[in-house]
Amino acid sequence: MAGNGGARDRALFAAVDVHYLGTAGARAALVTASDARFAELTGTATILIAEAAPYRPGEFYLRELPAIRAVCQHAGPFALIVVDGYVDLDPAGRPGLGAHVHAEFGVPVIGVAKTAFRTATHAAQIRRGQSARPLFITAAGMTVGDAASLIEDMAGQFRIPDALRTADRVARGLEQP
């Protein structure tokens, strides 16, 4: 992992994303910081996964979790992981990607979704920057209110916090780790 070698001694704040490469698998990206605002990134990493499971509605984690597990396995320890998606899919707690990441790593997880999921009526809606479109926030290991406040305060002036934007760009191969 590129970045500050001393960061390995402290728990890191992480943001992850996965980009699918057609029939050629996926590229997962991880960005880390030493603070929850992601004010200064301490490292980035990517990994290519040869095969990715097909998309199945309501079971997105089956596709994403193996790639996230692979990119995170040599990083950490983590204090928090931010994922692009939902932690839980309904008020009853039906697990989404973030719930599975929380179970896998045992740290708080914040889900930041760009689109509404019809059963996720419990998600907090926040607006960042000048955007009229909300982000949908869910969480495990912390309250949704605290998670929403953290995402509102994350570095970046746009709708999507800079850490998630960077993870997305690195996963797409538009930026180098």
Per-residue pLDDT at 1: 39
Under the banding of pLDDT at 50, 70 and 90, the label for residue 3 is very low
The pLDDT of residue 4 is above 60: no
CATH number for position 134: 3.30.2170.10
Task: Find tokens 């570095």 and name the residue.
Answer: 155
Q: Measuring CA to CA, how many Å separate 109 from each of 2, 25, 49, 118, 152? A: 23, 25, 23, 21, 15
Separation of alpha carbons 81 and 65, rounded Å: 13
Q: Supply the range of the domain harboring residue 113.
A: 5-171
Question: Residue 167 domain-assigned?
Answer: yes
Question: Residue 176 domain-assigned?
Answer: no
Return phi, psi of residue 18, to 5°: -130, 135
Per-residue pLDDT at 8: 47
Average pLDDT (34-41) is 96
The pLDDT of residue 25 is above 80: yes
Per-residue pLDDT at 76: 81
Question: Residue 177 domain-assigned?
Answer: no
Separation of alpha carbons 14 and 41, rounded Å: 9
pLDDT (tens digit per residue) in 99-141: 999 999 999 999 999 999 999 999 999 999 999 999 999 999 9
Question: Residue 98 domain-assigned?
Answer: yes
Whether the CB-CB separation of 159 and 126 falls below 8 Å is answered with no
> What HEC string does 116-146 produce?
CCCCCCCCEEECCCCCCCCEEEEEECCCHHH
Question: Residue 25 domain-assigned?
Answer: yes
10: helix, strand or coil: coil
Specify the range with the lowest mean pLDDT, choosing from 43-47, 53-57, 166-170. Answer: 53-57
Q: Measuring CA to CA, how many Å separate 130 from each of 83, 116, 151, 161? A: 22, 19, 15, 13
pLDDT (tens digit per residue) in 49-87: 988 877 776 677 778 999 999 999 989 899 999 999 999
